[in-house]
Amino acid sequence: MFKFELEKTSKGSKARLGKIITPHGEIETPIFMPVGTRATVKTMTPEEVKDLGAQIILSNTYHLFLKPGMDIIEKAGGLHKFMNWDKPILTDSGGFQVFSLSGNRKISEEGVEFRSHIDGSKKFISPEVSIDIQNTLGSDIIMAFDECAPYPSSYEYIYDSMMRTTRWAERCKAHHKREDQALFGIIQGGMYKDLREISAKDLVAMDFPGYAVGGLSVGEPLELMNEILDHTTEFMPQDKPRYLMGVGTPDYLFEAVERGIDMADCVLPTRIARNGTVMTSNGKLVIKNAKYKEDFSPLDPECDCYTCRNYSRAYIRHLFNVDEILGLRLATIHNLRFLIKLMEDIRESIRGDYFLEFKDDFYRKYGYNK
């Protein structure tokens, strides 16, 4: 029910073109996955998300576990039905949020006890609980429970954390029984190459249907991420999808794809959209700026999204100035389409063997100094 087909590898880089087959449909890779944290891609209907060309969305185990809670999603018949989305869903393990959002954490070999960031109530997530939750959610791709250590962290901390994450991955694999869900392992190891190697090799030995790289894009310089990513993908099998967690700016996506990454996700495009910042082929644009007051051109004249086909910068600026929700919607649609279209173009460039040239052109126009 889950399959990855590697179609080709680009000339001159490790960029890959492939296809993931899931029970809810196929996904062309490399892919950017919009995030629907609380069973909704913020401001959007599922139909709108599909119209953007999105092939899969990500949803968050931690948030859904707290609200609405698993009893409700189970009775709804799973997350797809609950939220009216019939294409693939990937859920994270809850690990990242337990370690970044919750309070009063107590980490043990067994799992993590924490306080809900919503009401302060005591909760516990272990590898087995995370799998149980994700089994109930019924997502197509589920993630092993891991710790995403902060940056910077000491070698000793990362070593202990990474080794525990590996042991947790083993328990996740043992506990996971649903054959219609693919469980991915998460490679950790911080910015330490030897730890990345250990983590990757141990997880690969367990034979997961896919692997994620966690603990990158956590505040380190792009160059360092590139170096660690280059090193890590060396130890990842060619015939399994590779997912870089938490990446969603054009440069990070290009650099990740160049290093052989197939999947990425991030809340950034939707979050900055709601703050009025949009990505365009000529770089970022802050729509509230006075200079757009009487600018009746679209956000990005080269964009094919609903927003750019129908609305002016002046109108969208007005909506933001008077706090109208349609402004948040139009900016979100644009930013998501921008990244999804970027990945479509990247796939074309890999297919046509001009990925690096495409990257250079994009960087020049976008204003990246690389």
Q: Which residue in 51, 92, 119, 180 is the catalytic one?
A: 92
For residue 37, the number of C-alpha atoms closer than 13 Å in the C-beta half-sphere is 14
> Is there binding between residue 42 and its own copies (CB under 8 A)?
yes
> Is there binding between residue 297 and its own copies (CB under 8 A)?
no
Query: In the complex with its own copies, which residue's Cβ is closer, 40 or 153?
Result: 40
Q: Which residues contact 225 (CB under 8 A, 6 or more apart)?
A: 216, 217, 252, 255
Selected binder of its own copies within 23, 68, 150, 237 (CB under 8 A): 68
Q: In angstroms, give the least distance from the CB of 207 to its own copies.
A: 37
Q: Name the phi and psi angles at 279, rounded to 5.
A: -95, 135
CB 89 within 8 A of CB 80: yes
> Is there binding between residue 44 and its own copies (CB under 8 A)?
yes
Q: In angstroms, give the least distance from the CB of 63 to its own copies.
A: 8
- Residue 357: name the closest of 14, 18, 17, 11 by CA: 11
The residue range among 61-69, 187-195, 208-216, 248-256 that interacts with its own copies, by the rule CB under 8 A, is: 61-69
* Element (DSSP H or E) covering residue 113: strand 112-115
> Is there binding between residue 270 and its own copies (CB under 8 A)?
no
> Is there binding between residue 43 and its own copies (CB under 8 A)?
yes
Q: In angstroms, give the least distance from the CB of 319 to its own copies.
A: 6
Q: Name the phi and psi angles at 106, rounded to 5.
A: -125, 110
DSSP state of 142: E
Query: In the complex with its own copies, which residue's Cβ is closer, 171 or 329?
Result: 329
DSSP state of 216: -
Q: Is 92 a catalytic residue?
A: yes
Q: Which residues contact 99 (CB under 8 A, 6 or more apart)?
A: 105, 112, 147, 148, 149
Q: In angstroms, give the least distance from the CB of 84 to its own copies.
A: 5
3-state helix, strand and coil shares in percent for the chain, rounded to the nearest 5: 45, 20, 40
Q: Is 93 annotated as a binding residue?
A: yes
Which residues sit at the interface with its own copies, rule CB under 8 A?
38-40, 42-45, 63, 67-68, 71-72, 75-76, 82-84, 293-294, 296, 306, 310-312, 314-315, 317-319, 321-322, 324-326, 328-329
Binding residues for substrate: 92-96, 146, 188, 215
Active site residues: 92, 265
